[in-house]
Amino acid sequence: MAKPNTRQFDRIIETAGNKLAGVRNRELWALPAGDQAKVAGYVGLAVAKATRLKSSPTAERGIERIWKNAEAALVAEIAAAEKGKAEVIAQAAAAKVAKKSSGWW
């Protein structure tokens, strides 16, 4: 029996893991394009407020919310990919057992 093909899941897990590391380091490339635009808008708002010597807690909260949501989404994506990989491995093992138990040898 051949080894189960889990390359697709491995690739998804690796890519999401790299993005998760980027999100945790607050690197903008790791965010989806829409979230990058939102962060840029919030940064612009914070800079505009700072030039007028005012604080911008709305912008800070918005940026922090984007980072937390991105991290949660990537953690969920990794968990789902690992679950799918485990299912493929379990199905391959069940098929191997069924094949061994059905024949003479």
Contact assessment for residue 16 and residue 74, using Cβ atoms and an 8 Å cutoff: yes
Contact assessment for residue 4 and residue 92, using Cβ atoms and an 8 Å cutoff: yes
Residue type, 85: K
Integer Cα distance of 48 and 34 in angstroms:
21
pLDDT in tens, 47-88: 999 899 888 899 999 999 999 999 999 999 999 999 999 999
pLDDT in tens, 19-54: 999 999 999 999 999 999 999 999 999 999 989 988
DSSP 15-36: HHHHHHHHHHTT-GGGS-HHHH
Would you state the pLDDT for residue 96?
87
pTM: 0.84
